Amino acid sequence: MNGNQGYQQQWSPNQAAHTTQMPPAYQGNNRQFPGVPFNSGASSESHGLPPTPGGFPQHGQSPRPVMPAATSPTRSTFSPSQTPLASTGFSQQQHGVQSGHPTKQFVPQTSSGAPSPNSFYRTNQGAFPNGPMQKQQQPFEGNQQAPPKLLTNGPTANGYMNGPPLPTSTVNPMQPNSTQRYGPAPMPFTNGPPSGLPTSPQANQFQPGSTVPTIQQQPNSGPVPQAPLQPPPPTQPMGPPPLIPNTKLNAHSMGAPAQPRRPMYPPAAPQQSNYPQYPPTGQNNGAGYQNGQGEYGLHQQQQQQSLLQQQQQQQQQQQLIPPMAGLSVRDGMNKLWGVDPVNLLQEREVLDAEVPMSDFAARNCLPEIMKCTMTKIPETSSLLQKSRLPLGIIVQPFKDLKNLPVIQTNTIVRCRACRTYINPFIQFIDRQRWKCNICFRINELPAEFLQNPMTGRMGDPDMRPEVQNGTVEYIAPSEYMVRPPQAATYLFVLDVSFQAVETGYLKVATDVLLDCLDHLPGDRRTTIGFVTFDSSVHFYSIDSSSRMPRQMVVSDVDDVFIPMPETLLCNLLECREQVRELLKSLGATQTGGPGNCLGAALQGAYKLLSPIGGRVSVFQCCLPNLGPGCLQSRENPNERSAKEVVNLNPATDFYKKLALDCTGQQIGVDIFLLNSQFADLATLAGIAKYSSGQLYYFPKFHVTQAVDQVERFKNDFRHYLTRKIGFESVMRIRCTKGLQLHTFHGNFFVRSTDLLSLPNVNPDAGYALQLSIEENLTDCNTAVFQAAVLYTSAQGERRIRVHTLCTGVSSLLQDILNGADQEAVVGLLAKMAVDRTISCSVNDARDAMINAAADLCHAFSLTQRSSAGGLMIMRNCKTLPLLILGLLKQRAFRVGVSTKLDDRVYDMERIKNLPLDKLLLLIYPALYPLHVMVPNPPRVQLSFEKVDKTGLYLLETVDALYIYVGGRLNPLLLQNVFGVSKFSQLPDNMSALPELDNEESIRIRSFVDSISAKHAVRPPLWILREDSHIRQLFTQYMINDRGESMLSYYEFLQYLRNLLDSY
What DSSP line would sit under 973-999, residue for residue?
Answer: HHHHHHS-SSGGGS-TT--S----SSH
Same domain, 473 and 525: no
Reported as a single tens digit per residue, the pLDDT across 584-594 is 999 888 778 88
Are 460 and 568 contained in the same domain? Answer: no
Instruction: Identify the pLDDT of residue 733.
Output: 96
Q: How many CB atoms lie within 10 A of CB 738?
A: 21
437 vs 157, residue with greater confidence? 437
3-state helix, strand, coil in the chain (%, to 5): 25, 15, 60
Which whole number is the average pLDDT over 122-134? 36
Strands 726-735 and 782-793 come out as antiparallel
Q: Smallest Cα–Cα separation from 902: which of 692, 748, 728, 678?
A: 678
Coil, helix or strand for 940? strand
474 lies in the same domain as 506: no
Nearest to 50 by CA among 19, 81, 88: 81
Q: Say what angle helices 1049-1060 and 880-888 make with each other, to 10 degrees.
A: 110
- pLDDT band at 88, cuts 50/70/90? very low
pLDDT value for 826: 97
SS (H, E, C) 612-657: CCEEEEEEECCCCCCCCCCCCCCCCHHHCCCCCCCCCCCCCCHHHH
* Per-residue CA distances from 1042 to 32, 943, 1050 (Å): 36, 9, 9
Lowest-confidence region among 168-177, 756-765, 864-873: 168-177
For the whole model, what pTM was predicted?
0.72
Contact between 740 and 111 under an 8 Å Cβ cutoff? The reply is no
User: Residue 752 has what pLDDT?
Assistant: 87
Computed from CA positions of residues 945, 946, 951, 955, in that sequence, does the dihedral angle turn out positive or negative? negative
- Is 995 inside a domain boundary? yes
669: in domain: yes
Position with higher pLDDT, 785 vs 403: 785
Structural contact between residues 393 and 373, judged by C-beta atoms closer than 8 angstroms? yes
3-state secondary structure of 6: helix
∠ CA 759-761-765, nearest 5°, is 130
Q: Is the pLDDT higher at 203 or at 362?
A: 362
Domain closes at, from 700, 724, 748:
724
Look at residue 976 and tell me if it is in a domain.
Answer: yes
Distance CA 441, CA 415 (A): 7
Whether 828 is in a domain gets the answer: no
**Cα dihedral value 975, 980, 982, 988, nearest 10:** -120
Query: Quick one: average pLDDT of 760-767?
Result: 96
3-state secondary structure of 84: coil
199 backbone φψ class: left, alpha, beta (φ>0; ψ -120 to 50): beta
pLDDT tens digits, 216-266 = 444 443 444 444 444 444 444 444 344 334 433 333 333 333 333 333 333
Structural domains of the chain, count: 4
In a shared domain, residues 605 and 692: yes
Query: Mapping DSSP to helix (H, G, I), strand (E, B) and coil, where does residue 434 land?
Result: strand
Same domain, 699 and 746: no
Domain C-terminal end among 694, 724, 754: 724
For 820, which DSSP code?
A: B
pLDDT band at 65 (very low <50, low <70, confident <90, very high): very low
Contact between 775 and 797 (Cβ < 8 Å): no
Residue 302 has pLDDT above 50, yes or no: no
Give the bridge partners for 952, in sequence order: 965
Whether the CB-CB separation of 746 and 915 falls below 8 Å is answered with: no
Question: Cα(459)–Cα(527) distance, rounded to whole angstroms?
Answer: 46
Asked whether the beta carbons of 247 and 278 are under 8 A apart, the reply is: no
Preceding peptide of 233 cis, ω within 30°:
no
* Beta-sheet pairing, 726-735 with 739-745: unpaired
* Spatial distance between the Cα atoms of 806 and 783, rounded to a whole number of angstroms: 6
Q: For residue 605, what is the domain's CATH number? A: 3.40.50.410
Residues 664 and 737 in one domain: no
DSSP 8-state symbol, 566: G
Taking 70 as the threshold, does the pLDDT of residue 1035 lie above it? yes
Q: What is the mean pLDDT of residues 364-371?
A: 94
Q: How far is the C-alpha of 274 from the C-alpha of 223, rounded, in Å?
A: 10
The verdict on residue 378 lying in a domain is no
For the chain, percent of residues with pLDDT exceeding 90? 53
- pLDDT bin (cut points 50, 70, 90) of residue 112 is very low
Provide mean pLDDT across the span 371-379: 95
Question: 432 and 553 share a domain?
Answer: no
CATH at residue 427 = 2.60.40.1670
Q: Does the residue 980 lie in any domain?
A: yes
DSSP 3-state assignment of 789?
A: strand
Q: Which residue has the higher pLDDT, 832 or 868?
A: 832
Do 451 and 574 belong to one domain?
Answer: no
Domain, as residue range, for 446:
406-482+727-806
Residues 243 and 321 placed together within one structural domain of the fold: yes
Q: What is the pLDDT of residue 693?
A: 95
Query: Would residue 266 count as lying in a domain?
Result: yes
Backbone φ, ψ for residue 381 (5° rounding):
-65, -35
Is the pLDDT reported for residue 104 higher than 80? no
The predicted pLDDT at position 359 comes to 66
Domain match, 438 and 460 both: yes
Question: Cβ neighbours of residue 985 under 8 Å, at least 6 residues apart?
Answer: none
467 and 514 belong to one structural domain: no
Residue 373 Cα to chain centre, angstroms: 8
A 10 A CB-CB count for 356 gives: 25
Provide the pLDDT for residue 898: 86
Mean pLDDT, the chain, as a whole number? 76
- Per-residue pLDDT band at 487 (split at 50, 70, 90): very high
Confidence at 2, pLDDT banded by 50, 70, 90: very low
Nearest 5 degrees, angle CA 274-CA 275-CA 279? Answer: 120
Answer for the pair 449, 383: CB distance below 8 angstroms, yes or no.
no
**pLDDT number for residue 339:** 63
**Domain final position from 674, 695, 724:** 724
Characterize the bridge pairing of strands 427-430 and 952-956: unpaired
More confident residue, 229 or 489: 489
Helix segments in 367-526, DSSP class H: 381-387, 498-503, 505-516
The listed range with the strongest mean pLDDT (183-192, 245-254, 915-924) is 915-924
CA-based nearest residue to 811, from 341, 135, 265, 203 = 135
Out of 109-118, 164-173, 723-732, least confident range: 109-118
User: What integer pLDDT is reported at residue 74 of this predicted model?
Assistant: 54
Beta strands in 338-426 (DSSP E): 342-343, 370-372, 376-378, 392-395, 406-407
Give the H or E element holding residue 782.
strand 782-793
Residue whose C-alpha is closest to residue 52's, from 597, 1006, 848, 915: 848
Res 603 pLDDT > 50: yes
If you compute the radius of gyration of the chain from its CA atoms, what whole number of angstroms results? 32
Q: Within a domain: residue 985?
A: yes
**Together in a domain, 559 and 676:** yes
Burial class (CB in 10 A: 0-12, 13-18, 19+), 774: middle
